[in-house]
Structure 1
């Protein structure tokens, strides 16, 4: 049956072998030199081999002792590293944040690494859902939601202007001269935002010529944007969510008309009936600062 030698003796051996001094090891372990010597003897008796050559004023490792020291050192180093990693994780604060899938994928996740790099003690647990938020019943610290800024039981921090604009690939744009040409194009919709095309077409005074319900519908705006990138038609986009694709030229905006949805935009929500934690305050300030740095 496999068994381990006495672990206290292993610890004493590792220090004595590293220092080559029983006296120094005794000081490090806060015990007497005699206690260290007894631990070494116990280990040698357990293993059945001598580990040290004892001289008048010095000790050295035997061949078996050197081999065993290398193995013990490797194991002890692994144990120290594993312990350090575990303690670091247990000291981290977990922050539970909910967002929409498209917002998370196209805006938040690409930037979240910078938050973690600057705040190593905070772990953001990000989930995606369309469901309404109820801080009284749910174990979450914050949520990013689209609305008018008025939520019962929540503090609301406005994040960005919600600007609607049609986008498409450069190849698709070549066949478009004016808004009326949209009647011959495929309109790409999101189930979560069924009225965006109607809103934009009405503002562009093209609602009587272009059927806002025609085209293809996807589960999320992220899917509609992906279809637009593949040249499948026009998506009605929230501009800040496609800003990187517009800057790179992967998507273009053939029309000048932009619809500002005003107060109906994205907000960070936090519970109104409980004090804001230090980690949530850190995340809130970081999030607001990110939007201040970007054009909207």
Structure 2
């Protein structure tokens, strides 16, 4: 019997079905068969049946049934650690293969704000020029050079110097305060007055982004947010709050320049922060670009010269 057949049979005899592992992860995360069923669009009885099947395959109990929900046994805890790693690895690999090997598609990684305010309008124009090429944008806020392994291209913030990436400069980082045009900010003409104003805060603990203390720090001013200041953990949410007149917020030039020109926002003081860093179009070094990725890259860089 061929060796490959022996390996496949060993997996089939030993490993539980993949769908039971996916369901197990959901049940463990929710500590509930019912909540997992809702997430997976299954009935509660179908989830229970899969978990009985998984426990039978494992030969040990994985859950302690409780009046409200379930708890993992010691064996369940061990299995969950393994399943999380394996499903994460499998997801990343499938995503990378799908993105990289589709002949008529380009996969691009970018932050939420840049994707929404800068990249999206570019995609509309690109689609008009190249309707046969699909651009898949994956927006996340926290990523680095290693994240690009699963994508054709990315727009990465920094100084342009990454050992594993080729990079082309796109946009400088310019950050300034803005407000809704109906907000009365005429009396604010100094950093000291600005610091006392109602400033919409950005919680940047989970990702790399400038907040008000950093912005003031670049201009040589110590600043501590007020206790009751509105706080958002996404730049796009904070910007939306500013657009609705909730207060003064920080805006990046790629987000706000057009809105300022249309009168939809107003600058608050003439102060701005230029960090010397910016957004770069990047791709993994020593990995050939697909024909579609090459077309999109050249088009995007050319559009910046217009």
- Give 1:169's match in structure 2, choosing from 173, 176, 180: 180
Q: 1:111 deviation in Å?
A: 2.5
Q: Which runs of 5+ in 2 are unaligned?
A: 1-101
Bigger Cα displacement from structure 2, 185-194 vs 132-141: 132-141
Residue 305 of structure 2 corresponds to 292
Q: 1:255 deviation in Å?
A: 1.2
Residue 124 of structure 1 corresponds to 135
**Contact 1:106–1:222 at 8 Å: present in 2 too?**
no
Q: SS of the residue aligned with 1:288?
A: helix
Where in structure 2 are the equivalents of 1:90-239 lying within 5 Å? Answer: 93-133=104-144, 138-174=149-185, 176-179=187-190, 180-190=192-202, 191=204, 192-193=207-208, 195-205=210-220, 207-208=221-222, 210-212=223-225, 215-239=229-253
Bigger Cα displacement from structure 2, 173-182 vs 216-225: 173-182
For each residue in 1:156-206, what CA deviation from the matched residue of structure 2 results, as whole angstroms up to 9, or x when unmatched?
11101111111111222435332322233222233245544233323444x
Q: SS of the residue aligned with 1:171?
A: coil
Whether 1:240 and 2:254 are equivalent positions in the alignment is yes
Change (3 A) 1:106 1:125: same
Normalising by structure 2, we get a TM-score of: 0.59
Normalising by structure 1, we get a TM-score of: 0.61
Change (3 A) 1:255 1:227: same
Q: SS of the residue aligned with 2:156?
A: strand
How far apart, CA to CA, are the structure 2 residues paired with 1:213 and 1:200? 16
Length, aligned pairs only: 201
Q: Which runs of 5+ in 1 are unaligned?
A: 1-90
Query: Which is greater in Rg?
Result: 1
